[in-house]
Amino acid sequence: MKYVIMIGDGMSDYPLPELNNHTPLEVAKKPNMDKLAEKGCSGLTINAPKNLPVGSDVANMSIFGYDPHKYYTGRGPIEAANQGIETVDGDVVFRCNLITEKDGKIVDFTSGHISTEEATELMEALNKHFKDKYPDFKGFWHHGLSYRHLFVYHDINTSKLEIPAPHDIVDEDFNKYLDFDTSYGKTIKDIMFESKEVLKNHPVNLKRVSEGKNPANMIWLWGQGTKPSMPAFKDLYNIDAAVITGVDLLKGLAIFTKLNKVDVPGATGYFDTDYEAKAEYACNALKDNDLVIIHVEAPDEAGHAADIDEKIKAIERIDKIILGKILKELPKYGDYKVVVLPDHPTPVPLKTHSRDLVPITVYSSINEDNKDNVKVFSEKTNSEGSLGTSNIGCDLIKNLLNNTW
């Protein structure tokens, strides 16, 4: 038996006036998803449990078969894993944004999408300053891309701090979020404020200001956590599985769970991702794996950009290029099951993720008699399916492997 899980990141949506009150999923031409719905079982589910952020990290952790309540520790450590950053016990990994600060407010959480080259210089300046001034300084910056970086700090207590994501508090007075009464909280706040002294008059920023660009004049530390301790996928489920994705967070999850991470040249995590290459690598991965999880980020990016056309196109490409090829390949191996779902909705009107239910369809080549009346894969039609409105969450893999589905 072979298994495929096809995740269209953020592909479900709300009925949009621009589409005559239909959703992008309803409008997109997607004969393969619809065929799976017609011959399979459908329903609605939710992958990001309450009390946790509705992020791709949390939602996909559920889809991978791990309870986020038990294993989710923050997005910092997941990104660090994919960048090959080694941590020791007691290390806490923070996301570190280079931000533009003015009068105690974040006016730009991307510092004008600062270039990686400029940002790298600033990260080096931070490391040098703190190391020179405090020989026992317990932190280190790892530069990433553009405004997105990581900071590893060796004090387990700091994992308890609650610091909002910078993109959620733009133009607000941020001091109220940093009013910590613990010594470790004050330390993190001091590091953020001291970064201003280092960055303000750095040549990179002086040049940016002279060119009319937003300076990266402060850092914002957030999204921190310790390295999660996750059992290997094979130890939990006793099958070989591979993940195909263009996104750091999912690659990081694959590392922690020891899933086979298939790197696809041309998988960008954006509109321009190479669908053909993903389809080809997915088909190849079927040879050595029982389960192949294919993740496409493009519909989520289209949702964030409120680009309805790109969202529809992304869904159609997933259907035609990836599912089309996979569905031709699977019968060569005998019986198979295919699951199609988004991790969470990224509705165009919100430009961000929502906690609404998502459609899920499960097709099993040995269970075609079990089908329900759903003939189209969509937010509305799936609600009438035999899987009902169920909180499948992290039981997805378990249900897929046993005979429930």
Judged by beta carbon, residue 56 or residue 82, the one nearer Zn ion is 56
Q: Which pair of tokens denotes residue 148?
A: 């997105």
Residue 57 binds to Zn ion (criterion: CB under 5 A): no
Q: Smallest distance, Å, CB 205 to Zn ion?
A: 33
d(CA 189, CA 221): 9
Residue 301 binds to Zn ion (criterion: CB under 5 A): no
Closest residue to Zn ion using C-beta atoms: 56
d(CA 338, CA 114): 41
Q: Smallest distance, Å, CB 170 to Zn ion?
A: 21
Judged by beta carbon, residue 91 or residue 343, the one nearer Zn ion is 343
Sequence letter at residue 15: P
| Beta-strand relationship, 105-108 and 41-45 | unpaired
Judged by beta carbon, residue 26 or residue 300, the one nearer Zn ion is 300
Judged by beta carbon, residue 249 or residue 264, the one nearer Zn ion is 249
Judged by beta carbon, residue 205 or residue 346, the one nearer Zn ion is 346
d(CA 181, CA 293): 44
Q: Smallest distance, Å, CB 55 to Zn ion?
A: 7
- Choices 53-61, 127-135, 170-178, 206-214; region in contact with Zn ion by CB under 5 A: 53-61
Q: Smallest distance, Å, CB 233 to Zn ion?
A: 20
Q: Smallest distance, Å, CB 247 to Zn ion?
A: 8
Q: Smallest distance, Å, CB 9 to Zn ion?
A: 4
Q: Which pair of tokens denotes residue 212?
A: 């009319």
Q: Smallest distance, Å, CB 338 to Zn ion?
A: 20
- Choices 9-17, 18-26, 332-340, 377-385; region in contact with Zn ion by CB under 5 A: 9-17
DSSP state of 66: -
d(CA 3, CA 40): 14
Q: Smallest distance, Å, CB 303 to Zn ion?
A: 9
Query: Site for Zn ion (CB under 5 A): how many residues?
Result: 4
* HEC profile of 165-186: CHHHCCCCEHHHHHCCCCHHHH
Judged by beta carbon, residue 9 or residue 372, the one nearer Zn ion is 9
* HEC profile of 186-215: HHHHHHHHHHHHHHHCCHHHHHHHHCCCCC
Residue 260 binds to Zn ion (criterion: CB under 5 A): no
Number of other CB atoms surrounding residue 267 within 10 Å? 21
307-336 residues in contact with Zn ion (CB under 5 A) are none
Q: Per DSSP, which regions of 41-91 are E strands?
A: 41-45
| Beta-strand relationship, 41-45 and 388-389 | parallel
Q: Smallest distance, Å, CB 63 to Zn ion?
A: 10
Sequence letter at residue 79: E
**What Å distances lie between residue 149 and 79, 122, 156, 287, CA to CA?**
9, 11, 20, 37
d(CA 358, CA 389): 9
Judged by beta carbon, residue 306 or residue 327, the one nearer Zn ion is 306
Q: State which of residues 8, 9, 25, 91 lies at the interface with Zn ion (CB under 5 A).
A: 9
Give phi and psi for 357, each to the nearest 5. -65, 150
Judged by beta carbon, residue 153 or residue 256, the one nearer Zn ion is 256
Give phi and psi for 294, each to the nearest 5. -115, 125
CA–CA–CA angle 58, 314, 10 (5° rounding): 20
Judged by beta carbon, residue 118 or residue 343, the one nearer Zn ion is 343
Q: Smallest distance, Å, CB 346 to Zn ion?
A: 7
Q: Smallest distance, Å, CB 343 to Zn ion?
A: 4
d(CA 44, CA 359): 4
**CA-closest candidate to residue 142, choices 170, 116, 165:** 116
- Choices 56-64, 87-95, 133-141, 144-152; region in contact with Zn ion by CB under 5 A: 56-64
Judged by beta carbon, residue 56 or residue 217, the one nearer Zn ion is 56
Number of other CB atoms surrounding residue 130 within 10 Å? 19
Judged by beta carbon, residue 99 or residue 397, the one nearer Zn ion is 397
Residue 343 binds to Zn ion (criterion: CB under 5 A): yes
Residue 56 binds to Zn ion (criterion: CB under 5 A): yes
Residues that bind Zn ion (CB under 5 A): 9, 56, 300, 343
